Structure 1
Amino acid sequence: MSIEVIKPGLLTTLQDAGRRGYASLGVGRAGAMDEPSWRLANALVGNHAGEAALEITLAGPTLRFQRDAVIALTGGIIEARANGRPLPPWTSCFVPADTLLRLGVMRHGCRSYLAVRGGFDVAPVLGSRSTDLHACIGPLQGRALQALDVIPFGQHAAGHWFRAGKQVQALRWGLDPQPWLDYEQAPLALMRGHHYPSLDEASQRALFAQRFAVSKDSNRTGSRLEGAPLHLRQPLELISEATLPGTLQLPPSGQPILLLAEAPVTGGYPRIGQLAAVDLARLAQRRPGDAIYFRETSMDEAFERLHKREEALQRLLQRIEQRLDSA
Structure 2
Amino acid sequence: MTAAGFLDIATPGLMTSVQDLGRFGAQALGMPVAGATDPIALRLVNLVVGNPENTAALEIGYLGPGFTVAADNVRVAFGGAAKLMLQPADGSDARALKPWRSVVLKRGDRLTIGAIEDASVAYLAVQGGFALPPFMGSYSTYMRSGLGGFEGRALKAGDRLPLALGAAPEGEERELADSIDYGSGPIRVVLGPQEDRFTAKGIETFLSAAYTVTKEADRMGLRLDGETVEHTRGADIASEGLVTGSIQIPGNGKPIILMADRQTTGGYTKIATVISADLPRVGRMKPGDALTFQAISVAEAEAIRRAQEQGIRRLIEGIRTALPDVWLDHNALYTVNLISGAVDAPSGHWR
Normalised by the size of structure 1, how large is the TM-score?
Answer: 0.91
- Which 4+ residue blocks in structure 1 deviate beyond 6 angstroms? none
Aligned pair 1:123/2:133, yes or no?
yes
Q: Deviations over 1:176-217 (max 9, x none)?
A: 22424x6xx421101101222221222211111111011111
User: 1:41 maps to what in 2?
Assistant: 45
Number of aligned residue pairs: give it: 312
- Asked which structure has the greater CA Rg, the reply is 2
Per mean C-alpha deviation after superposition, the further-off stretch among 133-142 and 95-104 is 133-142
Answer yes or no: is the 8 Å Cα contact 1:161–1:324 preserved in 2.
no
More moved, 244-253 vs 303-312: 303-312
**Is the aligned partner of 1:281 residue 2:280?**
yes
1:25 aligns with 2:25: no
After TM superposition, the structure 1 stretch with the greater mean CA deviation from structure 2, 148-157 or 245-254, is 148-157
**Mean Cα deviation higher: 279-288 or 86-95:** 86-95
For the residues of structure 1 that align with 2:236 and 2:63, how far apart are their CA atoms? 41
Measure the CA separation in 1 of the matches of 2:236 and 2:109: 57
Partners of 1:26 and 1:90 lie apart in 2 by 36
RMSD: 1.8
Other-structure match for 1:114 = 124
> CA–CA distance in 2 between the matches of 1:100 and 1:156?
16
Alpha-carbon distance between aligned partners in 2 of 1:177 and 1:215, rounded to the nearest angstrom: 28
Q: Secondary structure at the match of 2:299?
A: helix
- Gap regions ≥5 residues in structure 2: 88-93, 325-351
Q: Whole-Å Cα distance in 1 between the matches of residues 152 and 168 of structure 2?
A: 29
Match of 2:181 in 1: 179
C-alpha contact (below 8 Å) 1:90/1:176 kept by paired residues: no
The answer to whether structure 1 residue 301 and structure 2 residue 300 are counterparts is: yes
1:75-122 residue CA offsets vs partner (Å, 9 max, x unmatched): 3x1121111311111111221111111111111111000001111111
Give the 3-state SS of the residue equivalent to 2:28 in structure 1.
Answer: helix
Mapping for residues 147-186 of structure 1, pairs under 5 Å: 147-155=157-165, 158-162=168-172, 173-180=175-182, 185-186=184-185
Question: Helix, strand or coil for the counterpart of 2:212?
Answer: strand
- Superposition deviation, residue 317 in structure 1: 2.3
Q: How is 1:87-98 mapped onto 2 (pairs within 5 angstroms)?
A: 87-98=97-108
Give deviations 1:9-55, integer Å, cap 9, x for gaps. 00000000111000111111000110010011100011123210000
CA deviation after TM superposition for structure 1 residue 59, in Å:
0.7
Alignment CA distance shift 1:178-1:37 (3 Å): closer
User: Percent identity at matched positions?
Assistant: 32
Q: What residue number does 1:74 align with? A: 79
Question: Retained in 2: the 8 A contact 1:72–1:116?
Answer: yes
1:12 partnered with 2:16? yes
- In the superposition, relative to structure 1, how do residues 157 and 100 fare at CA in structure 2: closer, same or farther (>3 Å)? closer
Q: Which amino acid aligns with 2:147?
A: I
CA distance in 2, matches of 1:274, 1:30: 17
Query: Are 1:52 and 2:61 counterparts?
Result: no
Alignment of 1:135-284 (within 5 A): 135-155=145-165, 158-162=168-172, 173-180=175-182, 185-235=184-234, 237-284=236-283
Residue aligning to 1:167: none
The one-letter amino acid paired with 2:179 is P
Q: Following TM superposition, by how much is the alpha carbon of 1:259 offset from its aligned partner in structure 2, in angstroms?
A: 0.3
Question: Alpha-carbon deviation of 1:158?
Answer: 2.2
Shift of 1:316: 2.8
Deviation of 1:234 after TM superposition, in Å, equals 2.0
Amino acid at match of 1:126: M
CA contact (8 A) 1:211 1:293 kept: yes
1:159 deviates by 4.1
CA distance in 1, matches of 2:217, 2:111: 28
- What TM-score do you get using the length of structure 2 for normalisation? 0.85
CA distance in structure 2 between the aligned counterparts of 1:311 and 1:174, rounded to whole angstroms = 16
1:220, 1:262 within 8 Å by CA — same for their partners in 2? yes
Point out where structure 1 has 5 or more consecutive residues left out of the alignment: 163-169
The separation in 2 between residues aligned to 1:252 and 1:298, in whole angstroms, is 27
Structure 1 residues 60-87: Cα deviation after superposition (integer angstroms, max 9, x where no partner): 1111111211111113x11211113111
